[in-house]
Chain A
Amino acid sequence: MRILLIDDERPTLDMMQLFLEAYGYEILTAENGEEGVAMYQRERPEVVITDIKMPGMDGIEVLTRIKALDPVTEVVVVTGHGDMDLAIQALNLNAADFINKPVQKDALEAALRRAQERISRHLGAENRVSMEDRGPVTVLEIQGNITSRSETVLQDAYNSLIASEKQRVVLKLQETATINGAGIALLTQLLMEGARKGMKAGITGISDNFRRVFEVVGVTRFATLYEGEEEAVEALSRL
């Protein structure tokens, strides 16, 4: 897999290149946005990792340009620590993922793994939802990325949940799934409606990054985040 690294910091580029090459990735580097976009057009790498704050063309614009060139490209943005607004802005622009600076090995590994899996499975916009009864709790497994296009599928699932009159639900997201701004808005809206009707919800299977995003946008007010499915079922059963 070829990865294009865009960062205005040469040391960061060098270190990241060494690090990722150790994983066996083929690495391209660019020191600014313009150069990055040009190199993307030339080389068409599968994954782009770009810093958000850069002089000249910044990460957001790089993201926009690349998504315009090819919406399927996995673009991971690197944000400053706690820069949630920019992260959410990037997610709204269909960034695949975001990682915080200083870059943690695990976060980078996970982001790349998810990206690779998505690429290998070609999980585009399609969502598949399966429901499973676990006693008083319904487990709703959602595959694929959650975007604005997931609205119909999610709404259907939600309607059937309401119909089943079960008041406890666990949303089980796939580990490789990403969720963009529109997806977050959709999810928030459905969970809010459910909460108003007395539904208790739990969410599992989200990465640490998205955990932060969910906290910031307020999803956690309507649903509790759990580490694993079993834990979630158990906790909700007890309510």
Chain B
Amino acid sequence: MATSPRLRRIRRNWQLYLLVAVPVAYFAIFKYIPMANAVIAFKDYSVLDGIWGSEWVGFRHFRAFFDNPVFWTLVSNTFILSAYFLLASFPIPIILALALNEVRRGFFQRTVQLVTYAPYFISTVVVVSMTILILSPSVGLANDALGLFGIPSIDFLGNPDYFRHIYVWSDIWQTAGYSAVVYMAALSGVDPGLYEAARVDGASRLQKIIHVDLPGIMPTAAIILILGVGNIMAVGFEKAFLLQNPLNLSKSEIIATYTYKTGLLNADFSQATAVGLFNSAVNLVLLIVVNRVAKRVSGSGLW
């Protein structure tokens, strides 16, 4: 039998296929079957009939969600939180990396780097409880500090107006140092000849940053921004869920937390899946749009 070279290569490397078999099964079972399971968003899922036996209801669950009075609150909470988070968390690691890059390599630089990097390794549960403790109206550090200026104590987590700031800034506190490392790596890859040229041209330090450093990290920045957009809906969930309390719910209830509550606490599987699917679709569209924009602006994107 005549075999193509392709087939021969496959046969010769059969062990590679044996190796990937288990990981491939993993992706099929835990990633692709759930995508297929998502058809229950278009059905009335009942445990007895199973996923495929349940009755089709078309877009009823989506319509129910769109008509639900909470829909606009959820969508706007999710969007505002995401946009605020992206806008605030994007420039700070860049500023930190540029500043670290200016100071001489030594004790001070290493200390700042080591300390700002560390919170990345603290779990979300712990960061949230630190936030709650520090902002606590009775014993918290924040209110003690305000007290020094004669400001009466504020129940930060009990007031919905503060929720977004707490969410965003505690996250920046945790991740800015980590994100800066990526930019530091990008900066170390900048061609030294460019610095040389800038010096010959008599550029000040600030001009050097603007004309050499910033263009040097642009591709990295674009990728980080795209990944940030792609992760928002996923990352946001755990933290919003933990920071949430009945008092701040009007601003802290986002699509992801709502999905969890409808789905697992109220056992409305189909409705929750429809909401989750809507969330994923929005996320995917966002990602595609940002990728396209980033490609146009900086010439580099994820694909």
Same complex for A and B? Answer: no
